Chains A and B, each alone.
Chain A
Amino acid sequence: MTERKSPGSLSSSAMPGVVERHRGEERFKFLGLAAILVSLSFLAFFLVSIIGTGYGAFLQTALKVEVDLTYDSLGLVEPATEEDIANIRYRSIVRSAMRDIITEDVGRREARTLYGMLGAAAEFDLRDIVVEQPQLIGTVASLWLTSSDDVDLYNKGDASEASQLQTRLSEKQQEWYATLEAQGRIKTRFNWTFLTSSDSRDPEVAGVYGAMIGSFFALGVCLLLSCVVGVLAAVYLEEFAARNRWTQFLEININNLAAVPSITFGLLGLAIFLGFFGLPRSASLVGGMVLALMTLPTVIISSRVALQAVAPSIREAAFGIGASRVQAVFHHVVPLAMPGILTGVILGMARALGETAPLLMIGMIAFIADPPSTLTQPASALPVQVYLWADSPERGFAEKTAGAILVLLVFLLLMNLMAVILRRKFEK
């Protein structure tokens, strides 16, 4: 480019305004680059802040305690039946284990704060361990149990002095914590609970499993409906329908639908699926159907664009050797348009995965602790879980919220990756 500017080649009198035009080009390139940098820095800021808060959700603090499971103290006779194991009072066992470590005399009120260091999670942990390993009964077992959310946050934040000052642990609890730490009874481990359990009001027990299953069900229904209906509609409109006022009218409406706010589809779902068909509230089936309504216009439009992009010579060649219209379309045009259609479908799905507004109206924004096992059972979805946790008063949910966002981002990334891979595969 510098050559062009050199005075020998073209004088500014020969090409009026050339200097100004080059300057304009430079300006445009600079602005374009700046725009990209700005959006990249927003993205980086978002990722850094989410990962910075969210990584804590994948770690949990465990306390090592000696649990007295001898027959005497459990009040059982050998051998323990399954029913006995189910009826063991795990809560009081955990509590007495805590008392064994902190031997100092504490009043009733203080004892409660001592027990508070092992939360509800410890109780469930202990039950799971005992059910899995019944041979532990009759022994005094040394076990790692999940700490309460306050202890967890204290442990994770202990690098900075500010967090030591700002903690929900009382001074007494901080003393006990120091004692436990000195005895090597505190460790940080990977938080499997976060991936295997469902919603809970105790941050240390809460997980995204139920929401993941709900999202999976809803997306399955959505994929089936929007893919089949959307692609068929696109093929018909593009290849078979006559061009007249009607199809033009349809086209305009489909384009408009793509821009309708998503909550409107929730209202439609409430009126038709719940009101008219009487389908159950909060079910992932209805969620999927509503999301399908929302993604249909996107799928139809992108499929039509993909079909339009197939060269007319392909169709003409097929007709030339005597193929019918259906044969020409389904044997030649659709396979060639497949990469484009699939990209549209997957991007539509990715949008559906992140959507909460339409789910609000059909009751999927709810506290649902049991993961769904059928399409008609109450289910929530990943973005809903993020929304609910962000609104919870317990401090521990801040990092769980960011953690759930990370899980959602990973799924979105995987779906987009799939779109790229499928496109490559079909383009060959």
Chain B
Amino acid sequence: MKRTNIPALMIASALSMSVTSVVFARDEVRVVGSSTVYPFSTVVAERFGRSTNFKTPVVESTGTGGGFKLFCSGVGEGTPDVANASRAIKSSEVELCAKNGVADIVEVKVGYDGIVLANASGVAKYNLTTRDIFLALAKDVPDGNGALKPNDAKTWKDVNPALPDAKIEVLGPPPTSGTRDAFAELAMESGCKAFDWIKAVKDQDKKRFQAICHSVREDGAYIEAGENDNLIVQKLDANKNALGIFGYSFLDQNMDKVQASTINGSEATFENIADGSYAVSRPLYFYVKKAHLDAIPGLREFVLEFVSDDASAEEGYLEERGLIPMSGDERDALVDQVVNFKSMS
């Protein structure tokens, strides 16, 4: 019988171990949220861990929506302190937070990110307008008589006679991606508004307007290439005819392999995204739980490191990673707010 006792003891000890560790103290900052902000957040976290005596913050890439779900699940050590987001927090998410006792949230804008449409370097560069993008990629397009017809454009020339006679083949992220949401909102919608009658729909029927402008065609011209932007860059390198949709930081790292198309006559350069003349760019944020500021060691300092000149000002180390910093005035106002940890109103 003696032999059977040993495994039984092991189970008992394993169970008691799990019960005793219920009480734990967290001494590192926990960050969740957008995969677009993740590369920047982690760089700050690493620098912060190396240059201070605090532990390196743990950064999870859960996507913006998933991040807010965790962030708003309550106050306490079991919940994250910071949520990264590639869009502003929605009112429904603020309500969810409030319902779970997360009342005071500090909003911090980090900078901007551009979304580019690029093809392999070495072949002709595309000069697109948002109207071209809409007509090439939307599921249904205007038929010229104030109604919609299924998109039957095969080549870029069908869309706009000034464009090359090349097959429409665009590699982009799937619908679950924040980049795809932003692309639909910024590029497709602005092209969609070029048609007056669709623009008029917006006031009458917002849902229908969204359905027209945000639906991407499913007949093979738009190819869902997964969330991995590196993969899209590699595929462009192999397929010279295709265009790809990805974030500016990936363009920045692969300038030798791919070139970005101009959109509405504006090049996807650092300067154009910073001053807003490049149409397809979006602000990036993170949100801080105010109740945790005093409870979690290093949280206050981590936030201050993020907004420090070293990190997010022009020529800061985040710029090297492809983040587009805010202009001087906008930044000054923000830093002023963040240093005092002013809550969102």
Asked if B22 contacts A282 (CB within 8 A), the reply is no
Closest chain B CB from A323 CB (angstroms): 13
Q: Is A285 within 8 A of B21, CB to CB?
A: yes
Chain B residues closer than 8 Å to A370, beta-carbon distance: 28, 49, 55-56
Q: Report the nearest B residue to A116, measured CB to CB.
A: B320
Identify which of A165, A277, A388 contacts B18 (C-beta below 8 A).
A277
Q: Are A395 and B42 in contact (CB under 8 A)?
A: no
Q: Judging by beta carbons under 8 Å apart, are B230 and A398 in contact? A: yes
Question: B6-14, B156-164, B184-192: which one contacts chain A?
Answer: B6-14
CA A239 to CA B317, docked complex, whole Å: 65
Assess the B21–A280 pair: CB atoms within 8 A: yes
Chain B 26-69 residues near chain A, CB threshold 8 A: 26, 28, 30, 35, 38-39, 41-43, 45-46, 49, 55-56, 58-61
A201-B42, A366-B61 known; A326-B18 Cβ under 8 A: no
A281 to B21, CA, bound (A): 12
Residues of B within 8 A of A367 (CB): 38, 41-42, 45-46, 58-61
Q: Measured between C-beta atoms, what is the minimum distance from A157 to chain B in Å?
A: 12
CB within 8 Å for A390 and B228 given contacts A369-B49, A378-B58? yes
Which chain B residues border A279 with CB–CB below 8 Å? Answer: 18, 21-22
Q: Say if the beta carbon of A363 comes within 8 Å of chain B.
A: yes
Whether the pair B18, A280 counts as a contact (CB closer than 8 A) is no
Q: Mark A310-346, 1 if CB is under 8 A from B, else 0.
A: 0000000000000000100010000000000000000
The A-contacting residues of B in range 225-257, CB under 8 angstroms, are 227-230, 247, 249-250, 252-257
Count of B interface residues, CB-CB < 8 Å? 47
Q: Determine if A224 and B14 form an interchain contact, defined as CB atoms under 8 angstroms apart.
A: yes
Contact partner of B11 among A201, A228, A277, CB < 8 A?
Answer: A228
1/0 per residue, CB under 8 A from B, across A270-287: the answer is 000110011111100100
Number of interface residues of A (CB under 8 A): 44
Residues on B with C-beta less than 8 A from A330 are 3-4
Apart from A168-B253, A228-B7, A391-B35, 20 more pairs, CB < 8 Å:
A165-B256, A229-B11, A232-B7, A279-B21, A279-B22, A326-B1, A367-B41, A368-B58, A369-B46, A369-B49, A369-B56, A375-B21, A378-B58, A388-B61, A391-B227, A391-B229, A391-B230, A393-B39, A393-B247, A393-B322
Top 7 nearest A-B pairs (CB, nearest first) are: A369-B56, A367-B59, A366-B60, A367-B42, A166-B256, A228-B7, A378-B58
| Interfacial residues, chain B to chain A (CB-CB below 8 A) | 1, 3-4, 7, 10-11, 14, 17-19, 21-22, 24, 26, 28, 30, 35, 38-39, 41-43, 45-46, 49, 55-56, 58-61, 78, 227-230, 247, 249-250, 252-257, 321-322
